[in-house]
Amino acid sequence: MEPHPPVVHRRPAQPRGAVLLLHGGRETGPEPPPFWNLPGQRMRPLARALRRGLPDTVVAGVRYRHRGWNPPRADAARDAVAALDSLVAEFGDLPVVLVGHSMGGRAALWAAGHHAVRGVVGLAAWMPPEDPVEQLADRRVVMFHSDRDRMTDPRGSWLCVARTRRAGGRACGVCIPGSDHAMLRRAGLWHALTVRVVAGLLDPAAMPAEIAAELAAEAGGGPAPGPHRIGYEPIAVPGG
């Protein structure tokens, strides 16, 4: 089955960069996603926020061939790489930021070694501790997670940040208290922060100051993770 081309939601006349959205899925699902696919629908408000906030940026979304990750094939990551190739073929060597939710966050991290990728934003990402991070060595990674997520463990995101730093990447974690896996509670905050961080990954001068300071921290530092200590403390935005 041939990969689907990405769905391009915005084509600016003179784009300065691109953002590629990757929605969630499930661990196993060889069938195609249904026409009314809830994980895909969850990304629509975020796509609108990115189009409003970044008018000179291409906004596109990945269309998966399969509903699941389907180990060991990692189908969603393969589709992400194919979508990146398609964006390069259409728009040239624009810097690309990958934004992935849940399984899409895992796919974004796996695909981050693509030459077009400038950085990754993981939203409630599914990130098992054994997943590779070597591809993140020269990338900037910002992971958002709620402390009340019951679908994916936020500790996976914070461990990913620590492992990315030790691999030579620049990484930061942001905890959003009182939200959920689907990003429905405090949705406006998820969207606003994502827009600001994507803007900052494309132009470092636009990055929120606290996140910029974390990303500027020396790569390779931090204690080794253990069962009760991951060696990284995320930024916590206000609750309420």
Instruction: Dihedral sign for Cα 99, 101, 107, 109, please.
Output: positive
Q: What is the pLDDT of residues 198-227, one digit of tens each?
A: 999 999 999 999 999 999 986 655 544 443
Kindly state the tokens that stand for 28.
Answer: 């196993």
Q: What is the pLDDT of residues 91-127, one digit of tens each?
A: 999 999 999 999 999 999 999 999 999 999 999 999 9
Contacts of 210 (CB under 8 A, 6+ apart): 235
Instruction: Please give the model's pTM, rounded to 2 decimal places.
Output: 0.93
Burial class for 90, CB neighbours closer than 10 Å (0-12, 13-18, 19+) = middle
